[in-house]
Structure 1
Amino acid sequence: MVDHEQRRRELAGAVWRVIVRDGVADVSIRAVAAESGWSSGALRHYFATRAELLAFACEEVIGQVTARVSAMRPTGSLRQAAGEVLLQTMPVDEERHTEASIAFAFLALGLGDPALARVQRLHFTTMYELCLRLIAQLVPGPVDTTPETLAHRLHAVVDGLTVHVLAGHLSSDEMVAQLNAYLDEL
């Protein structure tokens, strides 16, 4: 019996490989079919359009990161735990670099395609909600700034550092040091 969800995940993996190797502009039904060893017709059985295929691939990245974060059982201080959680979303190793590359490839795509804009909003909303939960734990007392504002700032720091690593302006180690410095300031 065919496991359709497993096949869809295999196709998402093929999309990820094409994005990492060739860039998101080169993702097509034909390119993903070739990467996965499937025919274009077989692939279209699962995804009728390029946008559907790309949206699913990005949703899989979001789900993969969310599952990894949910499975964590951090030890140490709240501050250390927050850093460990955030680093699960940032490009500190090859797997997370690939995930971040895929997620950020959707920024430009979401501007012109409503289906991809929905996935982009899901990515941003999921990350903001994570930052808001972390801020609630890290900054429990009254402060001059709302938790929502602090969460937006934390989200901006995480995304900014991620973009700098993806663009080659920071190393992963430098990114971790900057994240730690910001968390220490909180």
Structure 2
Amino acid sequence: MPKIVDHELQKAKVAEATWRVIQKHGIEQASVRNIAEEAGISVGSMRHYFSTQSELLSYSMKRVSERVSQRIYDTVFSGDLMQDIPSLLHEVLPTDNEKRLEMEVWFSFVVKSLSDDSLRTLRHQVDDELRSIFVTVFNGLSEGQLLLPGLDVAIEVERFYAVLDGLAIHAVMRPERVTPEVMVAVIKRHLLSLCQPDVHSMAQKPDSNAKKEQPRDT
């Protein structure tokens, strides 16, 4: 009986091998042969799934985007925007090894796309998807009447996006300095800077649901 091959599983395996090759050796070494060796499959099998290197890279980058989107989808939100927005952005930032791998691969892909027109459309698509997160953030803050009056929301969307992008780059370059705790603290500080003063007061109040210290027996 012929062996049944799960083609989507094989393609996902190849994508993950692509990420590892890029992280270890750089995108210049992400050849079909090197990725096939990393994935433990034949070059012929690779050609069956991807006819060109650009097609392989595009698929691998789509998988990165899909993983981020799935994490966001799976996040359980509390309904408190001042907690939920940092939690949302936490799923994008390189706050653990898995997310760091995704970010390093993404930055390599961005550089490659500057000289490969076939990758540019995907880069723009993923960029637009990420930017839309900040549009959603500001829509929520506006609907909740939390924003400072007179803000130019279009500019603030770009500024917040730039803050996240800058944190991600610095965290990849200097992880010992830009730690997950630092990234979360910067995001929270920036978020508060956009909000009205009474939101600051609320954010500084202790959690009313926190467990109170019980008196000691004497």
TM-score range, shorter chain: over 0.9
Partner of 2:193: 185
2:126 alignment partner, SS class: helix
Letter in 1 for 2:154: E
1:149: which partner in 2?
Answer: 155
Write the deviation string for residues 129-176 of structure 1: whole angstroms up to 9, x where unpaired. Answer: 011101111233474234332221111111111001011152222222
If the length of structure 1 is used for normalisation, what is the TM-score? 0.94
- Which 4+ runs in 1 deviate beyond 6 A? none
Which structure has greater helix proportion? 1
Alignment partner, residue 172 of structure 1: 180
Equivalent residues in 2 for 1:26-175 (5 A)? 26-75=29-78, 77-140=80-143, 141=145, 143-168=149-174, 170-175=178-183
User: Normalising by the residue count of structure 2, what TM-score does the alignment of the two structures yield?
Assistant: 0.80
Q: When the two structures are aligned, how many residues end up with a matched partner?
A: 186
Amino acid at match of 2:118: A
Gaps of 5+ in 2: 195-218
Deviation of the 1:52 alpha carbon: 0.9
Q: Does 104-113 or 26-35 show the bigger shift?
A: 104-113
Q: How far off its partner does 1:41 sit?
A: 1.3
Partner secondary structure for residue 112 of structure 1: coil
Q: Which letter does structure 2 place at the counterpart of 1:67?
A: Q
Counterpart code for 2:181: D
TM-fit CA distance, 1:55: 0.9
How many angstroms apart in 1 are the aligned matches of 2:112 and 2:52?
14
Q: Work out which of the two has the higher radius of gyration on C-alpha atoms and give 1 or 2.
A: 2
TM-superposed deviation, 1:76: 5.4
Distance 1:129 1:17 in 2: 28
Please list the CA deviations of residues 111-140 of structure 1 after superposition, one character each: whole Å capped at 9, or x if unmatched.
111221112112211100011101111233
Q: Is the 8 A contact 1:55 1:119 kept in 2?
A: yes
RMSD: 1.5
